[in-house]
Homo-oligomer: A and B are copies of this chain.
Amino acid sequence: MEKIKLGHGAGGDLMKNLVEEIVSSIDLKKTEKGFGLDRLEDAGIVDLGDKKIALTTDSYTVDPLFFPGGDIGTLAVCGTVNDLAVMGAEPLALTLAYIIEEGFPLNDLKRVTDSVNHSSKAVGVPIITGDSKVIEHGKMDKLIVNTAGIGIVKQLVTNHGANPGDKILVSGSVGDHGLALLAKRFDFDTDMASDCAPIWEIVKRALEIGGISAMKDPTRGGLANCLNELAEKSSRAFFVKEKQVPLKEKARSIGEILGIDPLQTASEGRVVMCVKPERADDILETLKKFDEDASVIGHVEKEPKGKVILETVVGGRRFLEPAIGELYPRIC
């Protein structure tokens, strides 16, 4: 009998198969005029006629729960806010659900809630409803947080809209979140911190400039997964120059020591945008006001459809593949 593997949750090909299997058995995947699981975007869209509402959810599990740059509470709020943001939706309200292992220290729960509160205030999005469950000791690992969120669509952007000629931009260095967690777990002497942060403010400014044809945040599976999803869903080819991809020197070192590719490692406060060429300079300028590491990393072409081609630092070319299953110690 087939069983669920860890890799089914890691953001790679195995997970894609599992998600497709689950989704295929759901008959009602969308509202009459919106879209939903039929499209597998970062959020579903409900069309209310005069307004479009985005709805999204994520469960968060992270080891360690507290890490340089944030904790599971920061992650849960930012993750859901960011899934709304990449659809072009202004976050309106969040839910917060705690699943807690019996014996979990109350003070740690308070610390997590303080972080939830801090991030909620940073974005100005309220937590309007919630839930808590307590699971018997030994049948749960510490704390899982689920958040869901709704947003008002300001300008609908999807994973599907990249066009030939578009420039590909990233709003800051990649892999910081995943590598900071691994460094902390392996007790490295480094000041590497997670990039975990809400991206709505950045996205809002970029939307005001216009010309964004597709957008996604490089979380599970990192930049590699993000670009592959955008390329595949848009049926376009993504050409990326490795030397243009912003990467912190310390992130590179940690990756090298652990044998982990930072391009396949999660960021939690970055956004990848495909932008009409005539708007790329303006948007880059805006992104740089938030983070000077923001960069144009490549461009979109017609062929080969659904592929990401990486021009490596030494000048070679290879397909940048998405992660397959479990590549390294789980961090999210």
Contacts and interface: CB of A to CB of B under 8 A. Distances in A.
Interface string A138-178: 01110010101010100000000000000000000000000
Given A59-B133, A120-B26, A330-B136, A4 B97 contact: no
A134 B4 contact: yes
A207 interface: no
In the A-B complex, list the 4 residue pairs whose CB atoms are closest, starting with the nearest.
A36-B128, A44-B128, A9-B134, A148-B148
Contacts of A46: 92-93, 128, 150
Given A26-B117, A28-B125, A37-B127, A99 B132 contact: no
Contact of A95 (B31, B41, B148): B148
Q: Tell me the dominant secondary structure on chain A's binding face.
A: mixed
Interface string A259-292: 0000000000000000000000000000000000
A332 to B, nearest CB: 8
Nearest to A330: B136
A37 B139 CA distance: 29
B19 A132 contact: yes
Contacts of A152: 48
Contacts of A330: 136
A126 B36 contact: yes
B56 A105 contact: no
